Amino acid sequence: MSPSVLEAPGAQTRVEIHPLPGSFAAEVVGLDLSRPLADDDFRRIHRAHLDHHVLVFRDQRITPEQQVAFSRRFGELQIHVLHQFHLKGHPEILIVSNIVENGQPVGLGDAGHFWHSDLSYKEVPSLGSMLLAQELPEEGGDTLFADQHAAWIALPPALKQRVRGLRAEHSYLARYEELRERSPWRPKLSDEQVAQVVPVVQPVVRTHPETARLGLFVSEHFTTRIVGLPDDESRTLLAELFAYGTRPELQYRHHWQPHDMVFWDNRSVTHLAAGCPEHMRRRLHRTTIEGDRPY
Ligand code: SIN
């Protein structure tokens, strides 16, 4: 695919969408996110986001206010339950970081260590997330994305037939204690926080509300069981779906560059933080946009 050049009266900039070779993701060239987004540019970014599921904006030296303003163009922002890691003065921004200062973690250091779709454990999960690089390790720290529409298409017909119409439980608490054992700085949740993340039931196969494309909507981080199936059957089926949904041919691996902003569609992809050597500093700022109730 060749880059599409997009110009329109009123647009502040000349925007090009460059599909990233060998992947579904694309790079957006020519857009400065520190400036207010013209409606024509918004429409093109919106379209490219639906088409490519993961958009990469390079060299965005933007402030938290600008990240929040750009994110808000796409919908209401969701506030993460771990208020301990909100950016001061900006509860819409979750700090994703392995940095410890004065004995205190500055952010959620093990965010994304299992494949997941952000906030699938809420009745109204996330439309998309934006992650802005602040400080990057010299080694590792990549983020992987897996296309869940392609996963659905490639599913064997008998499995497709079996899972269509099934529903599964998603819980923020599913692996919380397991993660706390590995990362003791992960805060113990208060009763109030636990009350914010009661388990919910979501369709196993979801219809994208804007493109009508079907996609798998289960993940190893948050999906606990298939409703109505005996435990062993549910575990086996979920393991099979997780394996199908994360096959290497479905993946785009993002290797971060300084000041990258990546905007992905949580209704189309799952993602995973690949991790970096513990002694290397990594810090990113995440905003999460509210989506629709899955169907
Ligand atoms: C996340 O799961 O939102 C964080 C991903 C990352 O740190 O690469």
- Indicate yes or no: pTM above 0.85: yes
CB atoms within 10 A of CB 81: 20
- Residues, the chain: 295
Residue spans of alpha helices (H) in 32-140 = 39-52, 64-72
**Is the pLDDT at 205 greater than 60, yes or no?**
yes
Distance 263 CA to ligand 1 centre (A): 11
Alpha carbon of residue 240 to chain centroid: 22
**Is the pLDDT at 2 greater than 80, yes or no?**
no
Q: Which of 114, 133, 144 is nearest to 61 (CA)?
A: 133
Fold observed for domain 81-290: Double-stranded beta-helix (3.60.130)
Decide if 97 contacts 284 (C-beta within 8 A): yes
Distance 103 CA to ligand 1 centre (A): 22
Lowest mean pLDDT among 243-247, 274-278, 289-293: 274-278
Residue percentage of the chain with pLDDT more than 90: 92
Arithmetic mean of pLDDT, 8-15: 61
**Is the pLDDT at 9 greater than 60, yes or no?**
no
79's enclosing H/E stretch is none
**Is the pLDDT at 6 greater than 50, yes or no?**
no
Burial class (CB in 10 A: 0-12, 13-18, 19+), 295: exposed
107 lines ligand 1 (CB under 6 A): no
Write down the pLDDT at residue 183.
84
Which residue ranges make up each domain of the chain? 81-290
Write down the pLDDT at residue 14.
82
**Is the pLDDT at 3 greater than 60, yes or no?**
no
Write down the pLDDT at residue 72.
97
**Is the pLDDT at 13 greater than 70, yes or no?**
no
108-145 pLDDT, tens digit each: 999 999 999 999 999 999 999 999 999 999 999 999 99
The phi and psi torsions of 81 (rounded to 5 degrees) equal: -60, -30
The residue nearest atom 1 of ligand 1, judged by CA position, is 112
**Is the pLDDT at 12 greater than 70, yes or no?**
no
176-200 pLDDT, tens digit each: 999 999 887 789 999 999 999 999 9
Where is pLDDT greater, at 9 or 182? 182
111 lines ligand 1 (CB under 6 A): yes
* Closest-lying ligand 1 atom to the alpha carbon of residue 129: 3
Write down the pLDDT at residue 7.
44
Handedness of CA 169, 288, 85, 260 (dihedral sign): positive
Arithmetic mean of pLDDT, 48-68: 98
The residue nearest atom 3 of ligand 1, judged by CA position, is 112
Residues recognised as catalytic: 116, 118, 271, 286
Residue percentage of the chain with pLDDT more than 70: 96
Distance 287 CA to ligand 1 centre (A): 11
